[in-house]
C-alpha cells in the first residue's frame, strides 16, 4: 500500500512539473511546433513518465526534468534573440512551387513526394496548380499557399466598399456569471448589459451561457441548453 500512495504522489508531482514547464515554454499548439519543439516535448514526457514510476530515485529524475526544462526555456529565449541560432534549430521556410515551377530538389529536402504535395494542395481547395503563385513549406511542417491575384477571394477594397472598422468581441457573461473586468474594459455597465438581455428575451443572468459585445455595441447572447440534442446531424 505505501508504494501505491508513493506512485500517486510522484504521478501528481510529474503532472505539476509538466504543467509548469509548459507554461514556461509558451502556449504553442502541436501544429505550430518545430521539429526541435516536438523532440523536446517527447523527451520531457518520457522523463515525466519515469518520474511517476521510479520510486527509488525520483529525486534524480525530477532534477533531470527541471534541468532539461530550464535548458529548453533558455534555448527558446536565445532563439528569439539570435537569428542564426533560430535558423540552426528551427530551419528556414522552403519554397516548393513558384510561378509554374515545381522544385524537385526542395521536395527531396523536405522528404515530400509529389503525391503528398498534391494531396496537401487539394485539402485546402487547390485542385489545379495553375491557381497558385507559390507554395512554401514552413518551419513547423505546414504548407502555406499563395494564390494568384485573379484566384484570391474578392475583398471590399476590390469592390469599392468601405465596411465599418472591425473590433474584437469581449465575453461579458460565461455560464451565468458576469465578467465584470471584461464589461468595464468594453466600456459598458451592468445596466446596459441587462437591457441588451431583455431585448433578446432573456430575463435572468443565470439563463445565459455566453454573451458578447464589440466596441461598436453589437451584442450576442446564447441561452443555456441543458437538455441533450435529440437529433444529432453527425451520428
- pLDDT tens-digit series, residues 151-170: 888 888 888 888 888 888 99
> Which structural domain range is residue 141 located in?
94-147
Nearest to 25 by CA among 40, 43, 10: 40
The answer as to whether 74 is a domain residue is yes
The answer as to whether 235 is a domain residue is no
The answer as to whether 233 is a domain residue is no
More confident residue, 36 or 145: 145
Greatest extent of the chain over all pairs of C-alpha atoms, in Å? 75
The answer as to whether 28 is a domain residue is yes
Mean predicted lDDT score pLDDT of the chain: 82
Quick: pLDDT tens for 182-231. Answer: 999 999 999 999 999 999 999 899 999 999 999 888 999 999 887 776 66
The answer as to whether 76 is a domain residue is yes
Considering the domain architecture, whether residues 20 and 62 belong to the same structural domain is answered as: yes
- C-alpha angle 11/14/17, rounded to 5°? 150
Q: How far is the first Cα of the chain from the last one, in angstroms, to the nearest whole number?
A: 45
Integer angstrom CA distances of residue 59 from 64, 65, 207: 9, 10, 50
Considering the domain architecture, whether residues 14 and 64 belong to the same structural domain is answered as: yes
Q: What is the CATH number of the domain that holds 218?
A: 3.30.240.20
Considering the domain architecture, whether residues 11 and 79 belong to the same structural domain is answered as: yes
Considering the domain architecture, whether residues 74 and 28 belong to the same structural domain is answered as: yes
Considering the domain architecture, whether residues 184 and 212 belong to the same structural domain is answered as: yes
Considering the domain architecture, whether residues 69 and 107 belong to the same structural domain is answered as: no
Is the pTM here over 0.75, yes or no? Answer: no
Helix pair angle (83-90, 58-81), 10° resolution: 120
Are 143 and 135 in contact by the 8 Å Cβ rule? The answer is yes
Considering the domain architecture, whether residues 80 and 8 belong to the same structural domain is answered as: yes
DSSP state letter for 152: S
Considering the domain architecture, whether residues 60 and 105 belong to the same structural domain is answered as: no
User: Domain end: 87, 107, 137, which one?
Assistant: 87
Considering the domain architecture, whether residues 76 and 113 belong to the same structural domain is answered as: no
Q: How many domains does the chain have?
A: 3
The answer as to whether 49 is a domain residue is yes
Considering the domain architecture, whether residues 197 and 142 belong to the same structural domain is answered as: no
The answer as to whether 208 is a domain residue is yes
More confident residue, 77 or 26: 77
User: Domain end: 43, 67, 87, which one?
Assistant: 87
The answer as to whether 165 is a domain residue is no
Considering the domain architecture, whether residues 9 and 60 belong to the same structural domain is answered as: yes
Amino acid at each position: 500500500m505505501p508504494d501505491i500512495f508513493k506512485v500517486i504522489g510522484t504521478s501528481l508531482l510529474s503532472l505539476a512539473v509538466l504543467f509548469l514547464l509548459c507554461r514556461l515554454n509558451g502556449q504553442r499548439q502541436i501544429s505550430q511546433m518545430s521539429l526541435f519543439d516536438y523532440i523536446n516535448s517527447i523527451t520531457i514526457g518520457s522523463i515525466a513518465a519515469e518520474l511517476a514510476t521510479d520510486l527509488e530515485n525520483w529525486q534524480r529524475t525530477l532534477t533531470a526534468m527541471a534541468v532539461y526544462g530550464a535548458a529548453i526555456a533558455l534555448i527558446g529565449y536565445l532563439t528569439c534573440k539570435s537569428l542564426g541560432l533560430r535558423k540552426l534549430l528551427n530551419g528556414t521556410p522552403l519554397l516548393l512551387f513558384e510561378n509554374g515551377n515545381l522544385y524537385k530538389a526542395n521536395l527531396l529536402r523536405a522528404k515530400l513526394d509529389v503525391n503528398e504535395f498534391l494531396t496537401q494542395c487539394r485539402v485546402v481547395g487547390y485542385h489545379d496548380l495553375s491557381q497558385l503563385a507559390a507554395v512554401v513549406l514552413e518551419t513547423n511542417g505546414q504548407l502555406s499557399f499563395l494564390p494568384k491575384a485573379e484566384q484570391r477571394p474578392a475583398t471590399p477594397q476590390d469592390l469599392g466598399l468601405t465596411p465599418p472598422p472591425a473590433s474584437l468581441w469581449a465575453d461579458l457573461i460565461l455560464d451565468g456569471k458576469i465578467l465584470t473586468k471584461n464589461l468595464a474594459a468594453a466600456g459598458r455597465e451592468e445596466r446596459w448589459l441587462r437591457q441588451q438581455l431583455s431585448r433578446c428575451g432573456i430575463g435572468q443572468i443565470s439563463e445565459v451561457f455566453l454573451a458578447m459585445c464589440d466596441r461598436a455595441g453589437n451584442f450576442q447572447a446564447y441561452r443555456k441548453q441543458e437538455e441533450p440534442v435529440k437529433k444529432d446531424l453527425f451520428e
